[in-house]
Amino acid sequence: MAISDALFPDGFLWGAATSAYQIEGAWDQDGKGESIWDRFAHTPGKISNNDTGDVACDHYHRWAEDIELMKWLGLKAYRFSIAWPRVLPNGRGKINQAGLDFYDRLVDGLLQAGITPMITLFHWDLPQALQEEGGFSARSTAEAFVEYTGVATRRLGDRVRHWITHNEPSVYSFVGHVMGSHAPGLSDPYLALRVAHHLLLSHGWSIPVIRANCPGAEIGLAMNVNFNQPASPSLYDHRAWQYGYGMWTRWFLDPLYGRHYPVDLVEHAIEKQMLPAEGTDFVAEGDLTAIATPCDFLGVNYYTRQLARDQDIPPEQNLAPTVFQAPKNDRDWQEMDDWEVYPDGLFNVLAWLYFEYQPKAFHITESGASWSDSPDATGRVRDNRRIDFLQQHFAAARRAIQIGVPLKGYFVWSLMDNLEWGYGFSQRFGLIWVDFATQQRIIKDSGHWYRRVIATNGIA
């Protein structure tokens, strides 16, 4: 990869990312079916302030205006997701042409603006009808995902080259099915591992479908990989890290890269009764081969560093945490709970993933920060902390490129403020500020700064 001192590689995809439920609104318009997030958000008490994605950023109606903003920013690429129930209201079977037409217009608009579309097929808004049949804990939902992939790629695959099957399967599995703070709001560790398996399986099964409908496709899966380290050298904290971080990362990445589920984690899951004594009894013959179907890039969503601490450590073994973290202040910590600003972690994660799994290429499919700076008296949003954050993370990405990591793009989370899942509208990640009452958009200072970064391929 040719790279000069000052520049990112030629053709580097500077982008921004969003997802359907977080921005589209129009939750029940033009034939769209209900999703598990519609159901969850409409259940009082599930989302902070009882916010919902019913309207969100109203992007379903304002997409043309939003493309104009992307064009002004100079984005090379835009990552968005398709709402599965907009296209297949029941998850399978009858196609909703009006829903497909929306994405068709969006893709054409992006291409006319010179912006490369990158589509995520599943960013968590499962059709509620499939949840009634067990959601991704049922193998049949993996089959339905393949059908949906076929529908989406047959319609858009002539124009869209970049496809992501799943966004953050670990978050979908564990936050939605163990912690219960995301839809569908369940709390059953064994079920969560079944969900994880069927997500991975549906990823593998859909790769040939995408390739058939989209010549030259570049296909990946987006994993959230934050940096994680033991809080102290104690064996207890090390084990907390090995199992805790392992379940969020290796549990998914090992099978994706042909290594099967990690033996230490399977044993641990049996010991903790997350799995029965027989182990991964949901794995059928051929599944692991399908999951390891080669794809073209690994998407990395990176936000923060976490420290692993064994909560049940015996007092005599208890070493004080030895890892330095900045005192809590509003520059070094985001407004999201306990999200430390830790750019070196992005370098560490990219280096680890590259040397451990050797994907052919990477995109940083999300990275960004939540700070709620709002317009001042002149209407300007001075979000200098976000500029610092992005600058330091771009530098970390560049260092990774310099040691040989084949990084092809960087998608800032997020294009605009949006519905941050269980936190509702209380967290603002956007380069563009959104007034959710009036739908006014204002490009923040970080957006102005990012425009110069893109225009100079990274020098600014």
Query: Of 366, 364, 446, 450, whose CA–CA distance to 400 is shortest?
Result: 364
Residue among 24, 34, 366, 420 flagged as catalytic: 366
- Kindly state the smallest distance separating residue 226's Cβ from ligand IFM, in Å: 10
Q: Residue with structure tokens 């496809």? A: 163
CA distance 3 to 9: 5
Q: Is 65 among the catalytic positions?
A: no
CA Rg value for the chain: 21
Q: Residue with structure tokens 């739908």? A: 439
For ligand IFM, the closer CB: 78 or 413: 413
CA distance 148 to 209: 10
- Kindly state the smallest distance separating residue 338's Cβ from ligand IFM, in Å: 12
**Left, alpha or beta for 354 (phi > 0: left; psi -120 to 50: alpha)?**
alpha
For ligand IFM, the closer CB: 231 or 415: 415
- Kindly state the smallest distance separating residue 302's Cβ from ligand IFM, in Å: 10
Q: CB 192: neighbour CB atoms within 10 A? A: 24
- Kindly state the smallest distance separating residue 383's Cβ from ligand IFM, in Å: 16
Q: Is 132 among the catalytic positions?
A: no
The enclosing H or E element of 287 equals helix 287-291
**CA terminus-to-terminus distance, the chain:** 21
- Is residue 54 within 8 A of residue 447, CB to CB? The reply is no
The enclosing H or E element of 425 equals none
- Is residue 52 within 8 A of residue 23, CB to CB? The reply is no
- Kindly state the smallest distance separating residue 77's Cβ from ligand IFM, in Å: 17
For ligand IFM, the closer CB: 206 or 301: 301
Residue among 34, 168, 340, 420 flagged as catalytic: 168
- Kindly state the smallest distance separating residue 19's Cβ from ligand IFM, in Å: 5
For ligand IFM, the closer CB: 14 or 413: 413
- Kindly state the smallest distance separating residue 444's Cβ from ligand IFM, in Å: 17
Under the rule (CB under 6 A), what is the footprint of ligand IFM? 19, 22, 168, 301, 366, 413, 420
For ligand IFM, the closer CB: 232 or 446: 446
- Kindly state the smallest distance separating residue 339's Cβ from ligand IFM, in Å: 9
- For helices 384-402 and 445-455, the axis angle rounded to 10 degrees is 30
172-177: long-range contacts at Cβ-Cβ below 8 A with a sequence spacing of 24 or more?
Answer: 172/122, 172/124, 172/136, 172/199, 173/136, 173/199, 174/247, 174/248, 176/124, 177/137
- Is residue 82 within 8 A of residue 103, CB to CB? The reply is yes
CA distance 133 to 144: 11
For ligand IFM, the closer CB: 58 or 420: 420
- Is residue 162 within 8 A of residue 218, CB to CB? The reply is yes
| Cα-based angle 235, 240, 245 (whole degrees, multiple of 5) | 130
Q: CB 403: neighbour CB atoms within 10 A? A: 11
Query: Of 401, 331, 417, whose CA–CA distance to 364 is shortest?
Result: 401
- Is residue 172 within 8 A of residue 137, CB to CB? The reply is no
Catalytically active residues, by annotation: 168, 366
